[in-house]
Structure 1
């Protein structure tokens, strides 16, 4: 009898049904059998993740045909497809969706001395910053009625595929420990790919041996750090752990709010509205969604009137530059000032909080620029732990005003005559 410790997570990911064994594709896996929200379990044979399906041999094609796939989502760039080809849809009747989540792969800098962990945190954060809307559309494609069974893949099945798999599994309520363990299976897939190249394509294997380790590594701690940052930035205020919101709204005496998903205009603002409505029900709070998504909306006097009548306005989303360009010097912007002047509350969440400030931190590089000017003499950086240390250091070095950073957990910065920090706030400088 084996008296060793049983690891239920390891048992889940090691299920023999998980790997689809093929000759020339080495990271093809079934995402079934994982515990999900409300006691559900992800179904076997419905959703797969893989590496380069252009490599399939005739025998591989027959094995994959038996899976009954309806949809193949190719996450690679156009250049990669032009060079290497694509899924053999002429031999298997599927809907082939080309959905590049990034326009080009990363280049190696020989002077880059970051650890594998630090490189992948930067790479995955950059991938989400550049291609967040594309990942969302890929998930929409997989959720389309009739899309399943489906497989999504990139070249190695590690980074683009790994990130999309994590986003899908987390959206289904799969525990983080399981998500990370599934991601770590890619290490074995990369080893199989390396061995296959050595045997079948020694000319490519020689180049593979020169690739920096970070380009081949799958580091669960890096993915974990990025997913934490994603929840902080993408979750906004409308999350299950809303005790901080409850306290702040009670202190404001608010029975209802107006929320504006302006800064998520390009990334499914309707989802943010739906989350806000659910959040409002939990707090017994009336939520009115004001869809100010473009500058024409902000120029509308009717929208300005809705804002002006509100006691609490939430500006939500992670695109502060878009928020600023939409609102600056418009009737809605003036109405927000009127709310403050009348003793009301304007809440900026995540990137929207940064946009309220002058100076505003430009998320593209960490430099300072002009914001909406509703909070002067202090800057705010949201979810700073997802930034590279180099970027945040540059921001703090350039600062000629205090900088407030919200690196982890629920946090708020309240100004009611004087500044108050609530939650996990880091202050650089003196308020």
Structure 2
């Protein structure tokens, strides 16, 4: 079963749970859309260093804007990989660039055939139907791949007043997960259940600091345990 991993950032730091989660893959496609505003040379260097540290074959899906995401050739490498890493960056740019595009379809198709998918930082927020906009902490419209959750990344950098305001905004029926940088949670449910689930039982903590709430109450996510063969 494919794993869906939501990371709080620092996905290119092999010393964090978020950075290590794809270590067992044969080859990984690294999707750069959300990171479009980073320096390209520094970003490519960081990706290469991360892949070398984990001894991973990798392909960079260098999509920076919507026109790239609309080009099926750009997303082609995803079909050859058993892991996909979607980088952190700008959630608003990510949604506007990839919504209803061949690139997003390729990532979803990879999950359907069993690839592990890591959505980090901005991308983790953006896959929710209700997306946390990190510019002001409000909720806006996301990609809608996960209807029952709301994700906030880089939680250690959120001022206390913004945290409280966001808690009040999140509908009580949804599972809210706040991930500090480097933290990661992993799906434990089948894909047909996961897209609409708001159950804490359908997510487990891979590592790092994660705060979860539902219905205004703190809930506990179990630590992830690998399945026995």
Q: Tell me the TM-score normalized by structure 1.
A: 0.43
The residue aligned with 1:428 is 213
**Aligned residue in 1 for 2:11:** 237
Structure 1 segments, 4+ long, off by >6 Å, are none
**1:258 matched residue in structure 2:** 29
Give the structure 2 partner of residue 404 of structure 1.
177
Superposed, 1:183-332 pairs within 5 Å as: 233=9, 236-242=10-16, 245-246=19-20, 248-250=21-23, 253-332=24-103
Q: Using a 3 Å threshold, how does the CA distance of structure 1 residues 335 and 243 change in structure 2: closer, same or farther?
A: closer
Q: State which of 142, 147, 156 in structure 2 corresponds to 1:371.
A: 142
State the partner residue of 1:347: 118
Aligned length: 194
- The corresponding residue for 1:415 is 187
Check conservation: 1:257, 1:310, Cα contact below 8 A. Answer: yes
Cα separation, partners in 2 of 1:379 and 1:287, compared to 1, 3 Å: same
CA distance in 2, matches of 1:243, 1:428: 21
Provide closer, same or farther for how the CA distance between residues 243 and 397 of structure 1 changes in structure 2, counting only shifts above 3 A: closer
Structure number with greater CO (CA < 8 Å, separation at least 6) is 2
Aligned Cα root-mean-square deviation (Å): 1.9
Higher share in helix: 1
Partner of 2:227: none
Distance in 2 between residues matched to 1:387 and 1:244, nearest whole Å:
19
- Extract unaligned runs of 5+ from structure 1: 1-231
Query: CA offsets, 1:48-91, max 9 Å, x none?
Result: xxxxxxxxxxxxxxxxxxxxxxxxxxxxxxxxxxxxxxxxxxxx
- TM-score normalised by length of structure 2: 0.78
Please tell me whether the aligned partners of residues 17 and 184 of structure 2 are also in contact (alpha carbons under 8 angstroms).
Answer: no
What SS is found at the alignment partner of 1:249? Answer: coil
Q: Please identify which structure carries the higher strand content.
A: 2
Does residue 393 (structure 1) correspond to residue 178 (structure 2)? The answer is: no
* Alpha-carbon distance in 2 for matches of 1:386, 1:243: 18
Q: Name which one, 1 or 2, has greater alpha-carbon Rg.
A: 1
Q: Which runs of 5+ in 2 are unaligned?
A: 1-7, 190-201, 222-229
Number of the residue aligned with 2:197: none
CA 1:349–1:270 in structure 2 vs 1: closer, same or farther (change >3 Å)? Answer: farther
Shift of 1:242: 4.2
Pairwise CA distance, 1:238: 1.5
Report if the CA contact (8 A) 1:261-1:269 is conserved: no
- For 1:318 and 1:329, locate their aligned partners in 2 and report how far apart those are by CA, in whole Å: 19
